[in-house]
């Protein structure tokens, strides 16, 4: 499937926690509603940066 990707940064916080957390959303404009959403949790150093580096395309 090939289509445009929409990317946005969502913000929320856990109850009682003052730190606002960032959640990056990436979805195709041709969303397949039969597929459940997916959440990625990063490693000890990376933040979600490693999975969002521009230039790290699959080739």
Partner 1 sequence: MTALASEGRAVYAVDIRGFGTSLGGAAMEEPPLQNPPFAGVDEAIEDIAAAVDVILERQRASALDLVGFSWGAIAAARYGGDNGDKIGRLALYAPLYAEIDATWLERLAGSLDSVRLPATLGAYRLVTLDGVIRRWDADLPTPNSSAYREDGIPELVFETLSALDPRSSSQRPPGFRCPNGPLADVVRIWQGQPLYDPAKLTMPTLLIRGSEDTTSTHAAAVRLLAEIASTQKQYCVLAPGSHFLCIERNRAKLYEHMNDFFAPIRPNATRA
Interaction between residue 38 and partner 1 (CB under 8 A): yes
CB of 17 to partner 1, least distance (A): 6
Interaction between residue 4 and partner 1 (CB under 8 A): no
Rounded to whole angstroms, the Cα distance separating 57 from 36 reads: 23
Interaction between residue 36 and partner 1 (CB under 8 A): yes
Q: What are the distances in angstroms from CA 5 to CA 17, 21, 36, 44?
A: 32, 22, 17, 27
Under the rule (CB under 8 A), what is the footprint of partner 1? 1-3, 5, 9-10, 12-15, 17-28, 30-59
């Amino acid at each position: 499937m090939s289509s445009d990707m929409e990317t946005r940064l969502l913000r929320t916080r856990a109850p009682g926690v003052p730190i606002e957390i960032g959640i990056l959303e990436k979805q195709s404009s041709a969303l397949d509603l039969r597929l459940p959403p997916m959440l990625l949790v990063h490693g000890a150093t990376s933040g979600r940066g490693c999975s969002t580096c521009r230039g790290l395309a699959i080739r």
